[in-house]
Amino acid sequence: MFVDTHCHLNVPSLILQLPELLQRAQAAGVTRFVLPGVAPSCWDDLVAVAGRDSRIFAAPGIHPLMAMGFNEETVAKLERLACHAVAIGEIGLDYSDDTVPRLIQQTAFRLQLRLALRCGLPVILHCRRAFADLLQILREENVAKVGGVMHAFSGSPETAQECIRLGLHIGVAGPVTYPNAVRPLEVVRRIPLEHLLLESDAPDLTPVPHRGSLNEPAFLLETARRMAAIKGISLEQIAAVTTTNARQLFGLP
Ligand SMILES: [Zn+2]
């Protein structure tokens, strides 16, 4: 049994085929799904989808590239939804794109971290080209009190170690299966299994051999197989430990 700790099943391309997607996931052993938010406009959908299916869990939040217009009213709405959530996500910093000024991203990030701490919820973190600032803010805001996951982690093994020292998990996604994967592979090799989580990030980051098609939770199995090969242990062990990690972090049944 696997938990897909990061999938966007609420996006139009996936929600339209949700029953079939869930059936294929079930057949692959993927039985629980955490759905991060990206903007306030998707939060109600997210909570509704999770409310209809006991295998699906909502993690509303604002993606750094959607942080324009984030204000106190948004924070208040997010706080009202917190009782339906297993985490706040996906939040963080993204300096690969300058459409949202860094200061606005940082403010939205800090306010959501404080909210997560007030509600006692872990965080799902998105970071691109911003590790130094992200780690500093996480430290200043005491993220260790709630924990969280560095989603689709793309940094170095050294940065991964630093994240672990802050009490975070490392999210492993499809890129670890790519033939040219170097850093993701080193991260999986060097980070203890107790700190790793599996995620699809569907509909993105499709693993080998499904590249070219839309990603879906069933394909998580390919990432898990790769992880098992790198660690030199069985797929069953990968399933057992990563599922325990996910259930503990998100408080899943
Ligand atoms: Zn995502």
CATH code, domain carrying 162: 3.20.20.140
User: Domain range spanning residue 170?
Assistant: 2-250
Residue 201 Cα to ligand 1 middle (Å): 5
Rounded to the nearest whole angstrom, what is the distance from the C-alpha of residue 72 to the centroid of ligand 1?
Answer: 24
Measured in angstroms, how far is the CA atom of residue 174 from the centroid of ligand 1?
A: 12
- For strands 123-128 and 30-36, give the pairing: unpaired
Is-contact 60 124, C-beta < 8 A?
Answer: no
CA 96 to centroid of chain Cα atoms: 19
Distance from C-alpha of 23 to C-alpha of 25, rounded to nearest angstrom: 5
Structure tokens at 32: 């629980």
Residue 217 CA to ligand 1 center (angstroms) comes to: 13
Q: pLDDT tens digits for 80-116?
A: 999 999 999 999 999 998 899 999 999 999 999 999 9
- Gap from CA of 35 to ligand 1 centroid (Å): 8
| Ligand 1 center to 231 CA (angstroms) | 25
Cα end-to-end span (Å), the chain: 13
Query: How many C-beta atoms surround the C-beta of residue 22 within 10 A?
Result: 20
Distance (Å) from CA 6 to ligand 1 centroid: 6
Give me the percent of the chain exceeding a pLDDT of 70: 100
How much of the chain is in helix, strand and coil states, percent to nearest 5? 50, 15, 35
Q: Ligand 1 center to residue 63 CA distance, Å?
A: 9
Give the distance (Å) from ligand 1 centre to CA of residue 230: 24
**Residue 37 near residue 43 (C-beta atoms within 8 A):** yes
| Phi, psi (rounded to 5 degrees) for 242 | -65, -30
The answer to pTM > 0.75 is yes
Number of domains in the chain: 1
pLDDT 10s per residue in the chain (253 long)?
Answer: 999 999 999 999 999 999 999 999 999 999 999 999 999 999 999 999 999 999 999 999 999 999 998 999 999 999 999 999 999 999 999 999 889 999 999 999 999 999 999 999 999 999 999 999 999 999 999 999 999 999 999 999 999 999 999 999 999 999 999 999 999 999 999 999 999 999 999 999 999 999 999 999 999 999 999 999 999 999 999 999 999 999 999 999 9
pLDDT by residue (tens digit) across 30-47? 999 999 999 999 999 999
